[in-house]
Amino acid sequence: MKNNWITKLKQALGARAVVLMYHRIGTPKSDPWQLAVRPQYFEEHLQVLQKMGVAESAPAMVQQLQDDRLKRSVVITFDDGYADNYQLARPLLEQYALPATFFLPSTAWAGKRSSGGMNWSASSCTVLPCRSNSP
């Protein structure tokens, strides 16, 4: 089944770059907007990306765009800073050695967090390779 997905993904990508945006990894009790991906499916996504060798960091893709040498690649991102990104996604990303970018809401920087959210200490750049976009 995975080989079928690999073929479909290769055909869909062509020579393009794609950003995969995730919100939640897990099986939350409530998911009214259906933003959660089950951990086993997320792991299958990572296996396919690793096998294809197309995963790039967001800064690498930006550099490729700036240099006008964009290649077939996929960037993994997470929006909204849910704690499951840190608890469930991070170990799988590390296991498959794939880069990801996490976008946290501004409340995380202020030391506040909403229910189920990451805080500043959980978003440490030591978790996954990252680079500041600030001068």
Q: Give me the pLDDT at residue 127, please.
A: 39
Q: Give me the pLDDT at residue 62, please.
A: 87
Q: Give me the pLDDT at residue 15, please.
A: 67
d(CA 124, CA 89): 15
DSSP letter at 75 equals E
Q: Give me the pLDDT at residue 80, please.
A: 85
Token digits for 92?
Answer: 């799988």
Token digits for 56?
Answer: 């790039």
> What Å distances lie between residue 11 and 5, 14, 23, 42, 93, CA to CA?
10, 6, 25, 21, 24
22-57 per-residue burial string, b: 16 or more CB within 10 A, e: under 16: bbbbbeeeeeeeeebbebeebbebbbbbeebebbbb
pTM: 0.73
Q: Give me the pLDDT at residue 6, please.
A: 66
Residue 117 φ/ψ, nearest 5 degrees: -100, 160
d(CA 117, CA 125): 17
- Output the tens digit of pLDDT for each of the chain's 135 residues: 556 766 776 677 666 788 999 999 999 899 888 999 999 999 999 999 999 888 999 999 888 888 888 888 899 999 988 889 999 999 999 999 999 999 887 765 555 555 555 554 544 443 344 444 444
The single-letter code of the amino acid at 21 is: M
Domains and CATH numbers, the chain: 2-27+34-120 (3.20.20.370)
Q: Give me the pLDDT at residue 72, please.
A: 85
